[in-house]
């Protein structure tokens, strides 16, 4: 094991040492940030859509059984959480531009990882909570024969704003080569 540092010898991470020497490990951290961001946002969207969809299916079942027309407005609540995955994809595309410059990306790997992680977290929570609000909205509209729809939309919009703010603020944090 000649030529290895004590850290590489102890941890058995000689491959990591080679990557670190070339900047590849740091670049890898930036790439991990992108993957985490998109995965977390998609997870949140899925959970939010699932919660609102579950409530909508139950409400449609009640409406059908009662002989009422099935409410199309529930679709709005079911579909609302998908936008946060799109917001993460927009940030991902901007970070992809930085990753095209490996030295610059390696020098900013911690920042890119942080941007990815916290964009993912912000979008995940926003989407998930939006789905829970949508589910509550479906139940409220179902029980009140559609009354209060504007209030439900406002509540959905408020949490949507958190997702938009997350995207905008994190886009502003992405470093620009040569700036």
pLDDT value for 30: 85
Query: In angstroms, rounded to a whole number, what is the distance separating the alpha carbons of residues 123 and 89?
Result: 11
> Which CATH code is given to the segment(s) 20-173?
1.20.120.610
Per-residue confidence band for 3, with pLDDT thresholds at 50, 70 and 90? low
pTM over 0.95: no
Using CA atoms, how far apart are residues 156 and 138, in angstroms rounded to an integer? 12
Which one, of 173, 42, 168, lies nearest residue 112 by Cα? 173
pLDDT tens digits, 16-71: 444 444 557 778 888 899 999 999 999 999 999 999 999 999 999 999 999 999 99
CB 29 within 8 A of CB 112: yes
What is the C-alpha separation between 170 and 144, in angstroms, rounded?
40
Looking at residue 27, what is its pLDDT? 81
- Neighbouring CB atoms inside 10 A of 6's CB total 7
Cα separation of 166 and 90, whole Å? 11
């Amino acid at each position: 094991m000649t030529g290895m540092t004590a850290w590489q010898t102890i941890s058995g991470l000689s491959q990591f040492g080679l990557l670190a020497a070339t900047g590849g490990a740091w670049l890898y951290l930036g790439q991990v940030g992108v993957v985490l961001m998109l995965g977390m946002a998609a997870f949140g969207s899925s959970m939010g859509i699932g919660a609102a969809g579950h409530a909508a299916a139950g409400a449609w079942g009640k409406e059908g059984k009662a002989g009422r027309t099935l409410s199309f407005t529930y679709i709005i609540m079911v579909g609302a959480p998908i936008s946060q995955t799109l917001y993460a994809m927009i940030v991902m595309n901007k970070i992809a531009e930085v990753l095209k410059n490996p030295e610059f990306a390696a020098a900013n790997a911690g920042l890119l990882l942080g941007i990815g992680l916290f964009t993912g977290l912000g979008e995940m929570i926003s989407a998930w909570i939006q789905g829970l609000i949508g589910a509550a909205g479906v139940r409220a509209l179902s029980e009140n024969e559609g009354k209060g729809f504007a209030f439900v939309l406002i509540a959905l919009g408020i949490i949507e704003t958190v997702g938009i703010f997350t995207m905008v603020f994190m886009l502003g944090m992405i470093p620009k080569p040569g700036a």
